């Protein structure tokens, strides 16, 4: 499968714990995006990388959230001290070259109990 992959697909954690998600973009894509989607809502932008540089962060991304993309390949999204309000589907997407099209991964569903 040469599409965007995300791991884990599901994560259940207790409030206050830290979690980390991984996204592997399509190999030749230099742009990578993280979104969050809650029930009944569309995806909400969190952050965007071009290669290894984090170019934009949403105000939704509180100081408990951090994202990295070392070497401009895979990316990780870490949430520290999780809260119940963090329960959501976390989506990763990538795009590359002159193409505007963002290719989405299957998402990681986070449940904070």
Partner 1 sequence: AQRVTQPEKLLSVFKGAPVELKCNYSYSGSPELFWYVQYSRQRLQLLLRHISRESIKGFTADLNKGETSFHLKKPFAQEEDSAMYYCALSGIGGYQKVTFGTGTKLQVIP
Least distance from C-beta 47 to partner 1, angstroms?
A: 8
Residue choice 1, 27, 84, 100 for contact with partner 1 (CB under 8 A): 100
In this complex, which beta carbon is closest to partner 1, that of residue 82 or of residue 102?
Answer: 102
Strand locations in 30-81 (E):
31-37, 44-50, 53-57, 65-68, 75-79
Distance CA 11, CA 53 (A): 27
Residue choice 102, 108, 110, 112 for contact with partner 1 (CB under 8 A): 102
Span of 20-28, 60-68, 76-84, 96-104 interacting with partner 1 by CB under 8 A: 96-104
Distance CA 93, CA 105 (A): 6
């Amino acid at each position: 499968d040469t599409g965007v992959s995300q791991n884990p697909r599901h994560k259940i954690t207790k409030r206050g714990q830290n979690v980390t998600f991984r996204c592997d973009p399509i190999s030749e894509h230099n742009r990578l995006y993280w979104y969050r989607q809650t029930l009944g809502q569309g995806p909400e932008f969190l952050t965007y990388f071009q290669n290894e540089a984090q170019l934009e962060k949403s105000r939704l991304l509180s100081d408990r959230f951090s994202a990295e993309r070392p070497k401009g390949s895979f990316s990780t999204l870490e949430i520290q001290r999780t809260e119940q309000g963090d329960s959501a589907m976390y989506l990763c997407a990538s795009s590359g070259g002159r193409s505007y099209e963002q290719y989405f991964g299957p998402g990681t569903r986070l449940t904070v109990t």
